[in-house]
Amino acid sequence: MDIGFSFWTESFFRSIPELVGWTAGIVLAVIMLRRGGGRAEKMLLVACCLFFIMQLFNPFVNQIYSSLVEKENMSYLDTARTYGLIRMVYSVVLGIPGIVLIIWAFWIKFRVKKPEAA
């Protein structure tokens, strides 16, 4: 248990810079929303929250990997397949929507509107 806990804390401390960055993104998105932001700011807030949650649960996903490695009845190939599947589902559920929302938010915010012809 002690090895698993130390692995978890080490993994958590590695993700602190990303957690701080996404927290700053959440704070800035909330400030922009309170100052009259629109749809782009809402999407930015949701994307920052998704990435924050992803970084928050990253140590737990790494803990799953360490517990799979400790099992004696699984081969390395089965362990790698299982961890790869877990990581893929984790990334598809949280990562891809976050990327799409950030790109969409910036596209909405900074698109160039064509002047209307008189």
Planar angle of CA 106, 108, 88, nearest 5 degrees = 55
How much is the mean pLDDT over the chain?
A: 84
Q: Band of the pLDDT at 1, cuts 50, 70, 90?
A: very low
Ranges 1-10, 17-26, 58-67, 86-95, most confident: 17-26
User: Residue 7: what pLDDT?
Assistant: 60
Checking if the pLDDT of 108 tops 60, the result is yes
Distance in angstroms between the alpha carbons of the first and the last residue of the chain: 73
Please spell the DSSP secondary structure of 31-53, one letter per residue: HHHHTT--HHHHHHHHHHHHHHH
Checking if the pLDDT of 93 tops 80, the result is yes
Residue 58 in 3-state DSSP?
helix
pTM above the 0.85 mark?
A: no
**Residue showing tokens 């910036």:** 106
Say which amino acid occupies 36.
G
Average pLDDT over residues 22-27: 95
